[in-house]
C-alpha cells in the first residue's frame, strides 16, 4: 500500500510501530524493526504489521512474551496486537490453523504461569 510518490502512509507506519512497541516495550527496538520491515518490501498493511511484529518478538520481547517459545510469541503477537485471525496467522507462519491455535493457547498459558509454574 504505497502512495503515488512511492511512500507508505504515515498511519500504516504508525500502526506497525505501535504494534512493535506493544510486543517489545522498547521504543528503540520498535523503531529499528519497523524500519527493517519497511526496507524488506512488505506488501500491504497486514504484511508490514506482521513482519514488524515477528521481528520485534524475536529481537527483544516484552516481559509478558519472554516465557513463551519463539513460535508461541509470534502467534500471540500476530493475534494480539496484530489483529490477525487464526487462518491469517497460519498462512503467515506456514502452519495449519489448528497449529496456529495451539501455539496461541500454549503461549497464553506460558505467559499466565507464575515463575514457579514455568519451571
pLDDT in tens, 15-48: 999 999 999 989 999 999 999 998 876 566 668 8
For the chain, the first-to-last Cα distance in angstroms comes to 44
From first to last of its 119 residues, what are the pLDDT tens digits of the chain? 444 345 557 888 999 999 999 999 899 999 999 999 988 765 666 688 999 999 999 999 999 999 999 999 999 999 998 999 999 999 999 999 999 999 999 999 999 986 666 55
Collect all residues with Cβ–Cβ distance below 8 Å to 68 and sequence separation of at least 6.
61, 76, 106, 107, 110, 111
- Mind listing the domains of the chain with CATH numbers? 10-118 (1.20.140.160)
Amino acid at each position: 500500500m504505497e502512495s503515488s510518490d512511492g511512500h507508505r502512509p504515515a498511519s500504516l507506519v504508525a500502526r506497525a510501530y505501535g504494534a512493535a512497541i506493544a510486543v517489545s516495550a522498547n521504543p528503540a527496538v520498535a523503531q529499528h524493526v519497523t524500519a527493517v520491515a519497511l526496507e524488506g518490501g512488505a506488501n500491504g498493511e497486514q504484511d508490514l504489521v506482521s513482519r514488524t511484529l515477528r521481528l520485534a518478538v524475536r529481537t527483544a520481547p516484552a516481559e509478558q512474551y519472554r516465557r513463551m517459545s519463539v513460535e508461541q510469541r509470534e502467534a500471540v503477537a500476530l493475534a494480539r496486537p496484530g489483529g490477525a485471525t487464526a487462518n491469517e496467522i497460519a498462512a503467515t507462519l506456514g502452519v495449519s490453523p489448528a497449529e496456529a491455535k495451539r501455539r496461541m493457547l500454549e503461549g497464553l498459558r506460558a505467559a499466565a504461569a507464575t515463575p514457579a509454574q514455568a519451571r
